[in-house]
Structure 1
Amino acid sequence: MSQTTYELKAETRERVGKGSSRELRRNGLIPAVIYGDKQAPLSIALSTKDVTMKIHAGGFMTTVAVIDVNGEKIRVLPKDYQLDPVRDFTMHVDFLRVTKDSRVSVQVPVHFENEEKSPGLKQGGVLNIVRHDVEMSVSADNIPEFLSVDLTGLKVGDSIHISDVKLPAGATPVIADRDFTIATIAAPAGGVKEEEEAEAEGEAEA
């Protein structure tokens, strides 16, 4: 479980809009909004450098942060951020207020383990990942860093469903109406075709 938090300094924004946002970015700041917890949205500005470092460090969307807004410390979880499609710098961030009792929906990454213990992969099969992450409903104070999928013993044609994954205590999939697929062990490229050709040759000889 991710218990680590970090703190970011921020200042309130009196003006909003495209012109104000462009001016902030020229001054090394990112416009952002804090919303939720039945309170009015709060427009703030953050250091571009500090936010970019946290995004690139990984786990940005699954780690609770403390934002110091002019001395008021607000616990938040990043919910969305926008990147410039050309220059790849952060343009805007949305934060959700959270408390110790908050439940949140987060995209939790899926990690695959013991590939070397999968007969299907050792025989040349391919791990076909259907979901690289799974949306989970969790406590804000107990967000899993990742879900672990054990590939031990899996053969070509086997599938891994969410029911096969050991979920952290208190974590439930947002999709609850079906046992959705996480990954499959697919046949090697050309494997099916070669088998069909072999069968056709056998039939011709017969």
Structure 2
Amino acid sequence: MSDLFEIEAQPRSDAGKGASRRLRRTGQVPGILYGAHQDPEMISVGHNELIQHLEHEVFYSHILSLKLDGKEQQVILKDLQRHPAKPFVTHVDFLRVSADEKIKTHVPVHFINEDTAPGVKMGGAVSHHITDLEVSCLPKDLPEFIEVDMDGMEIGDIILMSGVALPEGVELPALASGAPEHDLPVVSVHGAHAVEEEEEMGAAEGEAEGEE
């Protein structure tokens, strides 16, 4: 997979909350670069540049090129912290990747043929139980997203994680143990009345908790 995103990073030496606050005031986001059997490095990246990248869904599930001290490193976005009340990123973690070592990360799920599914045409309601999946694969096999094809789904049908068609070389760690309880539903189609019943039950439970 070719690199679509390049990130300019700067090394930083000051640690602690005070240093991070000073860094943010200059328009930088503190971060950590780790993995690939190398020592972790404290870095910073430009907030505006990062925000522009985050507008693209594939940025979250793509091999990125991070430039640090004149050296390019292949990484993935591993963690992101945002301010609870303001549109600011407060911290970012990048994980180095090695071409011959599998990585685990989350990729978004895209549902296709939803509008043409027979159950939907009959008035059924769709529940997206999972909107991203953790995958395990080599960096070269990392998909930008995983498609879940709803073609042919009738009312009452459910697609489980084990029923998702995966690209070659991609596995779902959740299914590695073979335990049936880990094989969670990804999407289901059910009658509209079932949604109403669920909402009524949720409201009733909320009222009961409020009376306690």
Coarse TM-score class (shorter-chain normalised) = 0.7 to 0.9
- Corresponding residue of 2:39: 40
> Is residue 2:117 matched to residue 1:153?
no
Larger radius of gyration: 1
Structure 2 Cα separation of the partners of residues 118 and 8 of structure 1? 41
- Corresponding residue of 1:139: 138
Q: CA deviation at 1:190?
A: 6.3
Q: Specify the code of the residue in structure 1 equivalent to 2:47.
A: T
- Corresponding residue of 1:99: 98
Q: CA deviation at 1:162?
A: 2.2
- Corresponding residue of 1:185: 189
- DSSP 3-state at the match of 1:116: coil
Q: How many residues align?
A: 192
- DSSP 3-state at the match of 2:192: coil
- Corresponding residue of 1:128: 127
Structure 2 Cα separation of the partners of residues 10 and 147 of structure 1? 30
Cα-to-partner distance string for 1:31-60 (whole Å, 9 max, x where unaligned): 111011121110011111111111122222
Residues 113, 99 of structure 1: CA spacing in aligned structure 2 closer, same or farther, 3 A cutoff? same
Q: CA deviation at 1:189?
A: 2.7
Contact kept in structure 2, 1:81 and 1:93, CA below 8 Å: yes
Contact kept in structure 2, 1:156 and 1:185, CA below 8 Å: yes
Cα-to-partner distance string for 1:49-98 (whole Å, 9 max, x where unaligned): 11111112222221111221121222111100100011021111001111
Residues 190, 33 of structure 1: CA spacing in aligned structure 2 closer, same or farther, 3 A cutoff? closer
- DSSP 3-state at the match of 2:174: coil
Identify, as 1 or 2, the structure richer in helix: 2
Residues 186, 23 of structure 1: CA spacing in aligned structure 2 closer, same or farther, 3 A cutoff? same
Compute the RMSD of aligned alpha carbons. 1.8
Normalising by structure 2, we get a TM-score of 0.84
Cα-to-partner distance string for 1:121-179 (whole Å, 9 max, x where unaligned): 11110111111111111212221111112212211111111232211000000111233
- DSSP 3-state at the match of 1:183: strand
- Corresponding residue of 1:84: 83
Q: CA deviation at 1:192?
A: 9.0
- DSSP 3-state at the match of 2:85: coil
Contact kept in structure 2, 1:121 and 1:155, CA below 8 Å: yes
- Corresponding residue of 2:64: 65
Residues 142, 118 of structure 1: CA spacing in aligned structure 2 closer, same or farther, 3 A cutoff? same
Structure 2: which 5+ runs fail to align? 198-212
- Corresponding residue of 2:170: 171
Contact kept in structure 1, 2:124 and 2:190, CA below 8 Å: yes
Structure 2 Cα separation of the partners of residues 22 and 145 of structure 1? 33
Normalising by structure 1, we get a TM-score of 0.87
Structure 1: which 5+ runs fail to align? 194-206
- Corresponding residue of 1:202: none
Contact kept in structure 1, 2:62 and 2:143, CA below 8 Å: no
* Percent of pairs with identical residues: 33
Moved more, 62-71 or 25-34: 62-71
Structure 1 Cα separation of the partners of residues 157 and 31 of structure 2? 45
Contact kept in structure 1, 2:61 and 2:145, CA below 8 Å: no
